[in-house]
Structure 1
């Protein structure tokens, strides 16, 4: 089996990282001084700051403000090679990856493929809804929202009109809550100016949550406040409900309630994205890879997994660590140190998650934050939490230019009550075709 990726062996051990999300990126940076040949493989040529995808989808930010090219990030890291490719499978006996651009040998393999949207086996919902896991998803949702209102201008039928103006969001976690809040801001401040002929009192935003509260994983105080803010913004929150079916037009809940909407936004769950060829015994429920305290995949000595794909089962985290940015960053950082220790023949350090807390923003001047500072819990809501949320996300965006553009967009939106990126460019998601009711009479 010949290697075809044109990365010449230089006599050093080769470590291949599959996935350039938070975990893979942090690991690659941690290995900048390692005596290794590091190869990073990703299906995109850029890193995406996923926590702000919802702002791209609701016209708050440009797409290029939250992405950054891998080659720019690692332009001064001589031991790293980047390849734009998808991984098809792995041969763990021969230590070879099969990719879309050829075969690649490895000495150490790190799987940081993250997670994909979990539709829980419902193919119809998967085909008809919109998830937000990538820049393409976010742009598709933005295009769909704006196109819906352009079409609504041509509709006389009340039900057809409502189907275009109403939105159903499934999932009461941070993503669902933040999208609902952003849509409510657009409904109040932006859309009435753009589409003056439409009555936005008729625009309903439904948020469906399967459990008895929002923001699982955060404090009860944060959940109560988030619900209060959303209801104050006019979002209709439905707790203890599950979406039973969706055909692109009618949303049916397990309670029997039904909504009419052309746009269902799916933020209800994620599943790991393992590589084909790994032993089935290593893959747990939710398609996550079982790893030990050093992030080594169960059953292997030279294969590791970090980030959302990794399930490190402990007494404190019986389902594995939360699938969020902080565990991924910390695992990537520590694995970098441990690999250096392996090469030097030193003992490895066990991973211990330093929980820094969670945050979610609900809209203008409204957010909830459960923070842990110096091992002390600090909870706040409202304007203060909103400022903390903005500061932490701003400093986490990669690249000075991106930080500047994000800050400028936020300031413009805050003082002008406007979202300036209302452009329909590229693909959109379209369910039931709309038969525009138009008149050929000149008006």
Structure 2
């Protein structure tokens, strides 16, 4: 194992302006891709060496796609870009006065800093739920959840205890936004088309899927008619939707709702909200509602030459069409990244920057085969097959890498005709540290 005191960032000196980007998500990627290497040296830090297409993460979790089909190595993305340097390292903080980024293996000075760390799951201070729930924000989360789902079916097929079997077949999804709705629909389609063939000894009419939402409708950011259509699709697939309902606590075995209702379940999937992935060095007065306050140029309020984009950025009042900030989805991050790259080019030429204006290209959510909803510009609303086809096209279009587009498209075509999901593999068995019996079972079966 390498010793930290013998490591360094090893970034070459430069006479060009150095732009340091923290995070290789949609925002950071699009800043780096649009910067002119004749003017800038670009350094990107990230804790993972790939860019992932997070809107399809739920399909990895439900065995529809392999992880590498929605991810692309960052070094491969920038193979042809001069003076770009990627380092797989965790950033520990920022010193804006010294214009320095701090990492575990050394510090690096910058001329311009772009913080694009995205968001993380928000458990709203509920430590008990956070301990036992399954979030869905990273690739590791999706793989853990995939293992959990498949292990539940395997264990349900061999247990003699009907109560334990039922708890294994009860799945609770918290959050009725796009992630929660799409996850619920995907599991419901597995129940209908895949699982009965894999586990003929199990009665899947007893498998329950609960979608818990605190507001009065699913897909709150979308048009009410789209929400209504999505709710109808969920009902058709047999998902039990609980509106105006909040989770009180969860101990890994029983979900207790604020109403007092209890649901025995060994799988609670958390899709109820996110908060900004903050880093040390950003002043507390520049943070509001878990996000970083930025001006109309995405510059962090109170700091100079430090910018925040994507889910982390809270442009409060900066964009007249979105006075309460932009939605935490891919499109604002992509557009902010493109605009910021152009503005940095303006800065080095001593020209004025242009304020960011978000163009909303629409909102999409898929519930299942031929079941989707779309809110598009010019007040156009689609549902059913047309929305489903639009969703497929948009997601293929925005995937990074030709190979990924081809693999995902071929997977979807295969599933359309066969209903099969070919990645039902427990590669890395998941077990909670507290579950001693499960650990013993895995050891005895030589699964770990």
The TM-score, its normalising length taken from structure 2, stands at: 0.94
Question: What is residue 262 of structure 2 aligned with on the other side?
Answer: 258
Selected match of 1:384 from 375, 383, 386: 386
**Alpha carbons 1:139, 1:427 under 8 Å: kept:** no
Shift of 1:92: 1.3
**Alpha carbons 1:3, 1:105 under 8 Å: kept:** no
User: The residue matched to 2:364 in structure 1 has which SS?
Assistant: strand
1:269-308 counterparts in 2 under 5 A? 269-286=273-290, 288-308=291-311
Question: What is residue 397 of structure 1 aligned with on the other side?
Answer: 399
The TM-score, its normalising length taken from structure 1, stands at: 0.95
Distance 1:266 1:340 in 2: 40
Shift of 1:101: 2.4
Question: What is residue 348 of structure 2 aligned with on the other side?
Answer: 343
Shift of 1:255: 1.0
Distance 1:285 1:322 in 2: 13
**1:182 equivalenced with 2:186 (yes/no):** yes
User: The residue matched to 1:369 in structure 2 has which SS?
Assistant: strand
**Alpha carbons 2:36, 2:345 under 8 Å: kept:** no
1:161-180 counterparts in 2 under 5 A? 161-180=165-184
Distance 2:382 2:47 in 1: 39
| 4+ runs deviating over 4 angstroms | 431-437
User: The residue matched to 1:144 in structure 2 has which SS?
Assistant: helix
**1:242 equivalenced with 2:267 (yes/no):** no
User: The residue matched to 2:220 in structure 1 has which SS?
Assistant: coil
Question: What is residue 370 of structure 1 aligned with on the other side?
Answer: 375
Question: What is residue 150 of structure 1 aligned with on the other side?
Answer: 154
Selected match of 1:16 from 12, 15, 20: 20
Selected match of 2:331 from 318, 326, 333: 326
**1:192 equivalenced with 2:196 (yes/no):** yes
Distance 2:437 2:215 in 1: 34
1:308-323 counterparts in 2 under 5 A? 308-314=311-317, 316-323=321-328
Question: What is residue 117 of structure 1 aligned with on the other side?
Answer: 121
**1:232 equivalenced with 2:236 (yes/no):** yes
Shift of 1:13: 1.5
Distance 2:38 2:361 in 1: 28
Shift of 1:434: 5.7
Q: Is there any run of 5+ residues in structure 1 with no aligned partner, and where? A: 438-443
Q: Pick which of 33-42 and 177-186 moved more.
A: 33-42
Distance 1:356 1:297 in 2: 26
Q: 1:28 to 1:235 in 2, by over 3 A?
A: same
Selected match of 1:94 from 81, 98, 105: 98
**Alpha carbons 1:226, 1:362 under 8 Å: kept:** yes
**Alpha carbons 1:32, 1:79 under 8 Å: kept:** no
**Alpha carbons 1:249, 1:432 under 8 Å: kept:** no
Superposed CA RMSD in Å reads: 1.6
**Alpha carbons 1:251, 1:260 under 8 Å: kept:** yes
**Alpha carbons 2:37, 2:82 under 8 Å: kept:** no
Distance 1:148 1:7 in 2: 47
Q: 1:427 to 1:349 in 2, by over 3 A?
A: farther
Q: 1:321 to 1:72 in 2, by over 3 A?
A: same
Shift of 1:16: 0.1
Q: Is there any run of 5+ residues in structure 2 with no aligned partner, and where? A: 1-5, 442-448
User: The residue matched to 2:194 in structure 1 has which SS?
Assistant: helix
**Alpha carbons 1:41, 1:82 under 8 Å: kept:** yes
Selected match of 1:68 from 50, 53, 72: 72
Question: What is residue 440 of structure 1 aligned with on the other side?
Answer: none
Q: Pick which of 5-14 and 117-126 moved more.
A: 5-14
Distance 2:46 2:174 in 1: 29
Q: 1:271 to 1:206 in 2, by over 3 A?
A: same
Selected match of 2:52 from 48, 52, 71: 48
Question: What is residue 421 of structure 2 aligned with on the other side?
Answer: 419
Aligned length: 432
Distance 1:169 1:34 in 2: 49
User: The residue matched to 2:410 in structure 1 has which SS?
Assistant: helix
**What do the CA deviations read for 1:212-258 (whole angstroms, capped 9, x no partner)?**
00101100011000000001100000000000010101101111111
